[in-house]
Amino acid sequence: MTILKQYLRKFYTTTRSPLPIHLEQAWWAFVGGTIAVLVLESLSRSMDITLLIAPFGASCVLAFALPEAPLSQPRNIIGGHFITTLCGLIIAHLFGHGMWALALGVGLGIAAMLLTKTTHPPAGANPIIVITSASSWSFLFQPVLIGSIVIVCIALLYNNLFKNKKYPSFWL
């Protein structure tokens, strides 16, 4: 068998998704995510600042649908968003806003999250946002740091309302 055939065989599977469907879990994740985005946008409007960015929607998926997952923990949500934004800002400052900067920003952000144990997949989008919008250094604190802290605070308050949940699983 050729190397190409062996490689392409890896794409084939008959296995189905093992994820169960739980209507109650879906309902409460919907409510949690709705509350988090509503709070972020309400704070943004009342304080006339931006606290909501698109990756926070994906962070809400993890924080409210899978709060026990390692990637959903406070250090990952806050740290992942902070580190990848910092990486994007550094790359933009050093290399500008071109296609190589975008690629390097995302790659560096991924590596930095892994090395700091703060992996949070939604945060991988932050360097793209920072570089394409030519964000200033203040973007690191507002919306990123403040917004991610707000999400974690809501997740702490909301997820611990349920007897069968404990959030966070770990802080450090």
Token pair in block for residue 27: 């309902």
Residue 129 near residue 53, CB atoms below 8 Å: yes
Per-residue pLDDT at 6: 92
The proportion of the chain whose per-residue pLDDT surpasses 70, expressed as a percent, equals: 99
CA separation for the pair 90, 121 (Å, rounded): 20
Q: Would you say residue 74 has pLDDT above 80?
A: yes
Token pair in block for residue 155: 């997740």
pLDDT digits (tens, 9 = 90+) for 18-59: 988 899 999 999 999 999 999 999 999 999 999 999 999 999
Confidence of residue 133 (pLDDT cuts 50, 70, 90): very high
The proportion of the chain whose per-residue pLDDT surpasses 90, expressed as a percent, equals: 97
Per-residue pLDDT at 19: 86
Q: What are the sequence ranges of the domains in the chain?
A: 25-159
Per-residue pLDDT at 103: 98
Q: Would you say residue 97 has pLDDT above 80?
A: yes
Token pair in block for residue 119: 């992996």
